[in-house]
Amino acid sequence: MKGLWKYISPFAPDQSGACSVFYGLGGIVVIVDAGGCAGNVCGFDEPRWFGKKSAIFSAGLRDMDAILGRDTLLVEKLCAAAADTNAMFAVFVGTPVPAVIGTDYQALRRMAEKKLRLPVMTVDTTGMNLYDVGIEKAYLELFRTFAAASGPIQPETVGVIGATPLDMTCLEDPLHIENMLIGQGWSRVLIYGRNGLSNIQQAGVVAKNLVIAPAGMAAAVYLEKKFGTPYTTAYPVLKKNWVCDFTGKKILIVHQQILANALRQQLLEAGASAVTVASWFMLNAALKEPYDIALREEEDFIQLADNQTYDIVIGDGLFRKALKHFMGMYLELPHFAVSGRM
């Protein structure tokens, strides 16, 4: 039955992806909801929540606030929160409530900027899309607002787009990526999202951008158009402790596309006979092999993997629950947006 998922839990939604981009950047993140969506972000979709503080607030919309569109009350709440924080910006992140009532985000932004005297951004997420859509929108909003040509191009500097926990295998990956890029000859690595807004503001001087997740592609294209910054795609850190022989094996990888592509190359070099990438998330046409598969339903995955087509399936451990008849080898590759585990 279409839309019926019996084994796989819901994935992180778009507002969670957007909040992940803004996390720890020194701003106030206002989730425009009644409280449930904010609880979901802080309780399930943000692994940094228990180790690093960030100013995330719920709008706390009541029924009549939403029905009557009382944006002035929301702006007053934001101003009260700003009085207790040393915020550098504010951002409104959408949920199903403003999507249903047709909130005018531009008007909300203008009202808030007039009161706050701070840069205010809006991300029109709806809660109906997956996390990568929210990440894509948030990156674009950040770079449009803060990226500037702050000097001449620095040939020794590289930027990294897409390093959110929702798209990586562990929280230490950004550090590993930075070390690997330095080992390749780059003397400065700007991982966008670290060091507050500083790295975002310097995006105009980097010599090249590295995109490690499909949700960062739109931002890379924007920076190329604005500053002429070239970009490439790769996930440079994928050393797994899998002790097995891949020679002659047919393998299915289920993860975000750029990471999966990097793993595919490693497996082919290790002797695999064929490697297919499948995903419920963004599949960029330019990065896609003809036989790669865009998944839509849980049943799509079951029909694809729960048979004798593949010798090995690689994906988040949560997916294993759906494969009742798969007799091959299952290798776990964490995807936090899927299971909330790393």
- pLDDT 10s digits, 259-277: 999 999 999 999 999 999 9
- Residue 8 to residue 300: CA distance in whole angstroms: 12
Output 47 or 186, whichever has higher pLDDT.
Answer: 186
Same domain, 162 and 125: no
Same domain, 19 and 124: yes
- Residue 282 to residue 11: CA distance in whole angstroms: 13
Output 115 or 122, whichever has higher pLDDT.
Answer: 122
Same domain, 18 and 139: yes
Same domain, 56 and 160: no
Enter the DSSP assignment of 9: P
Mean pLDDT across the stretch 213-234? 97
The yes-or-no verdict on residue 40 having pLDDT over 90 is no
Contacts of 182 (CB under 8 A, 6+ apart): 189
Same domain, 136 and 38: yes
Contacts of 80 (CB under 8 A, 6+ apart): none
What would the two tokens of residue 198 be?
């500083």
Same domain, 207 and 284: no
- Residue 336 to residue 91: CA distance in whole angstroms: 24
Check residue 246 and give its pLDDT.
95
Q: What percent of the chain has pLDDT over 70?
A: 94
Query: Largest alpha-carbon pair distance within the chain?
Result: 64
**Is residue 3 included in any domain, yes or no?**
no
The yes-or-no verdict on residue 3 having pLDDT over 70 is yes
Same domain, 203 and 135: no
Give rounded-to-5 percent helix, strand, coil for the chain. Answer: 40, 20, 40
- Residue 20 to residue 164: CA distance in whole angstroms: 6
The yes-or-no verdict on residue 74 having pLDDT over 90 is no
Same domain, 173 and 283: no
* Residue 160 lies in domain: 147-233
Q: What is the mean pLDDT of the chain?
A: 90
The yes-or-no verdict on residue 36 having pLDDT over 70 is no
The yes-or-no verdict on residue 63 having pLDDT over 70 is no
Check residue 61 and give its pLDDT.
67
- Residue 106 to residue 104: CA distance in whole angstroms: 6
- Residue 245 has φ and ψ, to the nearest 5°, of -100, 115
- Residue 48 to residue 23: CA distance in whole angstroms: 9
- pLDDT 10s digits, 319-338: 999 999 999 999 999 999 99
Contacts of 32 (CB under 8 A, 6+ apart): 59, 61, 74, 92, 93, 94, 95, 97, 98, 103
**Is residue 2 included in any domain, yes or no?**
no
Enter the DSSP assignment of 92: E
CB crowding 197-220: b at 16 or more within 10 Å, else e:
bebbbbbbbbeebbbbbbbbbbbb
Same domain, 39 and 111: yes
The yes-or-no verdict on residue 137 having pLDDT over 80 is yes
Q: What is the CA radius of gyration of the chain?
A: 21
Check residue 11 and give its pLDDT.
95
- Residue 310 to residue 293: CA distance in whole angstroms: 14
Name 121's bridge partners: 91
Own/partner pairs, 198-202, CB within 8 angstroms, 24+ separation: 199/159, 200/25, 200/142, 200/143, 200/146, 200/147, 201/146, 201/147, 201/148, 201/150, 202/150, 202/157
Q: How does residue 289 score in pLDDT terms, banded at 50, 70 and 90?
A: very high
The yes-or-no verdict on residue 219 having pLDDT over 70 is yes
CATH code assigned at 202: 3.40.50.1980
Check residue 313 and give its pLDDT.
97
Check residue 20 and give its pLDDT.
94
Alpha-carbon torsion (86, 89, 94, 100), positive or negative: positive
The yes-or-no verdict on residue 156 having pLDDT over 90 is yes
Domain boundary among 198, 233, 268: 233
Amino acid, single-letter form, for residue 79: C
Output 246 or 148, whichever has higher pLDDT.
Answer: 246
- pLDDT 10s digits, 87-97: 899 999 998 88
Mean pLDDT across the stretch 240-257? 92
The yes-or-no verdict on residue 34 having pLDDT over 80 is no
Number of domains in the chain: 3
**Is residue 5 included in any domain, yes or no?**
no
What SS3 state is found at 266?
helix
Q: How does residue 177 score in pLDDT terms, banded at 50, 70 and 90?
A: very high
Q: How does residue 66 score in pLDDT terms, banded at 50, 70 and 90?
A: low
